[in-house]
Amino acid sequence: MSRYFEVGFYDQFFYSKAGEGEWLNAGDQHYMQLALELAARAMGRTNPNPMVGAVVVKDGRVVGRGYHARAGTPHAEIHALREAGELAAGSVLYVTLEPCCHHGRTGPCTDAIIKARVGRVVLAMTDPNPLVAGRGAQRLQEAGIQVTCGVLEEDARRLNEVFIKYITTRLPFVALKTAMSLDGKIATTSGESQWITGQPAREYVHRLRNIYDAILVGVGTVMADDPSLTTRLPEGGGKDPVRIVLDSKARTPVTARVITQASPAPTIIVTAPNAPVENLFRLKEAGARVIEIPGGEGGIDLAALLKELGRREITSLLVEGGAGVNGSFIAGNLVDKVYWFVAPKLIGGAGAPGPVGGPGIAALRDAISLKDIKLNRYGEDICIEGYVLKRSD
């Protein structure tokens, strides 16, 4: 099979590892796979909670299924146990994340599992939330329930990569998306950039917007392209991300579509302390939310911004900036993941911009590398998807 292949948006999270000798048995792997697929149904909808799926199995038959739909609603285990009813007694419960043992927006799932008299619980991973972190599994074991952990753990961690970063650092997971020609240009010498990639690639980007909490661009992009920064799926529906504009001097026009369009998601203009007061007033009057972040290189301290977004429970951020914004995020060691689209086009021109600005590096040994790379094809375009190898890694 070619290395370049079409991939379904949700399919990319699940892949079999049978034959590698990692799992206790094929049955555990099979049922955990079902639980992971259930969890993924709520992708982008559970924040700040994790995505969790659960499957109840009795005598080799699935008798209960459930997944966590959104924060404040019953957890996956509760849905699955309710569906199983009396059949839950003596069953095996497969859960993609360690059950909670504390009171939050809902009660402890461990209590419900014990009350249902489940015989065995199989977990994909422990919960990195400091309030749980092994205590849920311990509570079940103390009640006489057999607990197995680590089945399809890598898949579970990848599925909940946003939650894992947020709950352990209180910072959003940052993904950078860019699109360039084969010769590394994001626009022509005249500034024309729509469109570098084709329709299938752009559709995939809208699916990304549908699952990320927020999308960020610089004011230069707003003034040059007047983007909507909304989610537009071919089948309709979708969730608009919170729109964030880096605009140290509050120059965003009040007539820009990020301000005027009808959308349930707010637009946040991020300004520096010295932004003109009259500009701030106009933006607020037009309905934008304005937050002031201490100045950094280029006018705004991006690390401070991420802390503020985390405080607001924005757990994931999709950066769709130009060369300057991309360069600042990369130089600040702030990017976790990239979606790097390459179109089979040649633009040329020494003055045509590339995807990453800033001063760059002087020595190749300082170049930033990616790990866990995947190559996907969307129409004629290729997307290189990978995780940034941080300087501290």
Residue-wise pLDDT tens digits, 226-282: 999 999 998 888 999 999 999 999 999 999 999 999 899 999 999 999 899 999 999
Active site residues: 77
- Domain spanning 172-248+302-389: which CATH class is it, in words? alpha beta
CA–CA separation, 108 vs 164, rounded Å?
A: 20
> In this predicted model, what pLDDT tens digit does every residue of 112-121 receive, in sequence order?
999 999 999 9
> Taking residues 186-196, what's their average pLDDT?
84
Closest CA to 322 of 277, 352, 362, 363: 352
The order of strands in the sheet holding 316-319 is 289-292, 267-271, 242-246, 214-218, 316-319, 173-181, 337-343, 381-388, 370-378
How buried is residue 361: exposed, middle or buried, by Cβ count under 10 Å (0-12/13-18/19+)? exposed
Report whether 191 belongs to an annotated binding site: no
Which pLDDT band holds residue 5 (cuts at 50, 70, 90)? very low
Count other C-beta atoms under 10 Å from residue 24's C-beta: 11
Is the model's pLDDT at 137 over the cut of 70?
yes
The pairing of strands 146-149 and 316-319 is unpaired
User: Which runs of consecutive H residues, i.e. helices, occur in the chain?
Assistant: 26-40, 76-84, 109-115, 135-142, 153-159, 161-169, 199-211, 219-225, 257-260, 277-285, 302-311, 323-331
Count other C-beta atoms under 10 Å from residue 104's C-beta: 14
* Domain spans of the chain, in order of start: 26-163, 172-248+302-389
Q: pTM for this structure?
A: 0.88
Cα first-last separation, the chain: 33
Report whether 327 belongs to an annotated binding site: yes
Report whether 324 belongs to an annotated binding site: yes
Cβ atoms of 183 and 224 within 8 Å: the answer is no
Closest CA to 30 of 116, 122, 98: 122
- Domain spanning 26-163: which CATH class is it, in words? alpha beta
Report whether 109 belongs to an annotated binding site: yes
Report whether 229 belongs to an annotated binding site: yes
At 6 the pLDDT is: 34
Is the model's pLDDT at 24 over the cut of 80?
no
Is the model's pLDDT at 16 over the cut of 50?
no
Report whether 392 belongs to an annotated binding site: no
